[in-house]
Amino acid sequence: MRKGKPQIIFSLIFGTFSKLFAYLLLLIFANFYSKEELGAALFIISIFHLTLNISSLGMPFIYVSWLIRKKDIYSIFSFLLILNIIIFLAALAFSASHPWIFPLALILPLVYLFNIGISILNSKYQYHISKFLSSLIVLFCILFAFLLRNLERLGIIASYALSYIIVTSIILYITRKKLFNILSNLTLNLTSLTEYLKKSIFVSLL
């Protein structure tokens, strides 16, 4: 129990910082971007997050429990990887007529890997690290939103994308051994997939 106490404390601290960073980010948006540009960018980001609910179905909650119980995570990873490739190609096609959203389309596969990495960390009870990295995304977003303020809506989208690229790179390095293990054992078992989808869809609807 004592071993887990520092992790819980740090998780709470980083969670608090993340909320403060999010508030600061909103202040930067409000002061450096017009209402029209901000509204357009936030609308697309909302659509992006709705898409993530599909592309990262069951993450981190169901996927973490499967990692801990050593269930068939390989089939789930394979299925979601295929799903992410399809969504990624669709997003690229859509961004052809809306070039300013291209950075978000580009990071869709990266965000999937980010969620996989977070799930791996949480399965090892390293919640403090996952909370810290999530806070880091918001912090980088603040920095890039300020630096790219002259790019208007593209500046908002690009700051969001760049933040994910940097933090996902860190997560991939931290979790590289487990990720390599998953990538080395790709398979597609329909029984496992059906079980996972039933649980993850139910959780997503709650």
Helix, strand, or coil here: 96?
Answer: coil
Provide the b/e sequence for 145-173 (b: ≥16 CB within 10 Å): beebbebbbbbbbbbbbbbbbebbeebee
Q: How far is CA 184 from CA 47, 79, 122, in A?
A: 33, 15, 21
Token pair 């909302």 in the structure block, residue: 46
Taking the C-alpha atoms of residue 38 and residue 156, their distance in angstroms, rounded to an integer, is 8
User: Could you tell me which of 175, 160, 205 has the C-alpha nearest to residue 113?
Assistant: 175
Segment 66-109, tens digit of pLDDT: 999 989 999 999 999 999 999 999 999 999 999 999 999 999 99
Token pair 């609807």 in the structure block, residue: 205
Mean pLDDT confidence for 118-123 = 91
Segment 136-181, tens digit of pLDDT: 999 999 999 999 999 999 999 999 999 999 999 999 999 999 999 9
Using CA atoms of 170, 178, 51, 62 in order, give the dihedral in degrees to the nearest 10: -130
Segment 105-117, tens digit of pLDDT: 999 999 999 999 9
